[in-house]
A and B are shown apart, each in its own frame.
Chain A
């Protein structure tokens, strides 16, 4: 016997609250509870009795445990994807480009005009962020503006994004330092940053792929959580 809209809303609201308002948690739990009730509900067995029954099975502690496992699954999936993206980089042309980039940076470091020329390299990393303004990057970022419901998966992806974008902020600081010509200590940090730059760029590129794919997958899996 199918639930009425009102009964469905009662179940959905319980899952919404217990699932800490995460839509991706809510839809799975709601579907499970609704199936349980609908399969058993008839003229003699009431909705309220069955709802209480399934609520004891899917109580708040169980739901909390499900959320924790889901979080762990998402985090692990992100790490796995990032590792895969980095491994994909291990092709001869890409390794050659990195080698040339590192060689270029070292050559610039040994050149007396390093401060004037090498600064351009630092801006490569800032340029990379422009990827998010076009094509798939733009579509992925649209999730943030167009989201209407909380999503656990999106919360975790965003947290990783904010952490992994920190090197870019650091390099922005470094590049601003060049403009203001700071102290000798600063020069050492600058030199170190410059040597690390190819690695950071590589990591940034890999993360961009993971972030974009993750956001597009979220959009595809949970269209109901975004503006139509």
Chain B
């Protein structure tokens, strides 16, 4: 990631969006998908990912289930009903935020 501070506040909506689009995912899969989508620009560290996932679980936004994958256990995360609502709100907030940034970064285009 080129400037991690810029992405920090966006991590939660990013994860929510991923879970909304893919149903259920495991931790490593999320980090790799974000990396792929952003062409390596955004690299979520484990130290940021798991505490956030656990916080979302605490808030009832995501739920977990474990499953055998071959002979190994794997923990999957998915959105709860409340989480799906929260994702829609988060996406609206993100759009508004991006719009506001556009006004600042490209004032002429935004007014234009």
Are A and B interaction partners? yes
Q: A: which residues have CB within 8 A of B?
A: 8, 27-28, 30-32, 34-36, 39, 57-58, 62, 65-66, 68-70, 72-73, 76-77, 80, 221-222, 224
Q: Mark B48-69, 1 if CB is under 8 A from A, else 0.
A: 0011001101111000111001
**A27 CB, min distance to chain B CBs, angstroms:** 4
Q: Please give, as numbers and ranges, the residues of chain B lying within 8 Å of A57 by CB-CB distance.
A: 45-47
Give the distance in Å from the alpha carbon of A224 to the alpha carbon of B29 in the complex.
23
Give the distance in Å from the alpha carbon of A224 to the alpha carbon of B69 in the complex.
13
Q: Please give, as numbers and ranges, the residues of chain A lying within 8 Å of B51 by CB-CB distance.
A: 65-66, 68-69
Please list 8 pairs of residues, one from A and one from B, whose beta carbons are closer than 8 Å in the complex, sorted by A's number: A8-B72, A27-B73, A31-B27, A58-B47, A62-B45, A66-B50, A72-B55, A77-B58
B74 interface residue per 8 A CB criterion: yes
Identify the 8 closest CB pairs spanning chains A and B, nearest first: A73-B58, A69-B51, A35-B28, A69-B54, A62-B47, A76-B58, A73-B54, A27-B73
Q: Please give, as numbers and ranges, the residues of chain A lying within 8 Å of B85 by CB-CB distance.
A: none
Given contact pairs A28-B75, A69-B54, a sample of 20 additional A-B residue pairs in the complex whose CB atoms are under 8 Å apart:
A27-B75, A30-B72, A31-B74, A32-B28, A57-B46, A57-B47, A62-B45, A66-B47, A66-B50, A69-B51, A69-B55, A70-B54, A72-B54, A72-B55, A72-B58, A73-B55, A77-B57, A77-B58, A221-B64, A222-B66
DSSP class of A's interface residues: helix, strand, loop or mixed?
Answer: helix
Q: Is the interface on chain B under 10, 10 to 19, 20 to 34, or 35 or more residues?
A: 20 to 34
Q: Please tell me if the beta carbons of B47 and A31 are within 8 angstroms of each other in the complex.
A: no
Q: Please tell me if the beta carbons of A27 and B66 are within 8 angstroms of each other in the complex.
A: yes
Q: Taking A31-B26, A70-B54 as contacts, is the C-beta distance between A221 and B46 under 8 angstroms?
A: no
Q: Taking A66-B54, A69-B51, A77-B57 as contacts, is the C-beta distance between A58 and B46 under 8 angstroms?
A: yes
Q: Please give, as numbers and ranges, the residues of chain B lying within 8 Å of A36 by CB-CB distance.
A: 28
Q: Please give, as numbers and ranges, the residues of chain A lying within 8 Å of B66 by CB-CB distance.
A: 27, 221-222
**A30 CB, min distance to chain B CBs, angstroms:** 8
Residue of B nearest to A54 (CB): B46
**A102 CB, min distance to chain B CBs, angstroms:** 33
Q: Please tell me if the beta carbons of A28 and B57 are within 8 angstroms of each other in the complex.
A: no
Q: Please tell me if the beta carbons of A31 and B28 are within 8 angstroms of each other in the complex.
A: yes
Q: Please give, as numbers and ranges, the residues of chain B lying within 8 Å of A28 by CB-CB distance.
A: 27, 50, 75
Q: Which of A66, A80, A224 contacts B60 (CB 8 A)?
A: A80
Give the distance in Å from the alpha carbon of A91 to the alpha carbon of B22 in the complex.
39
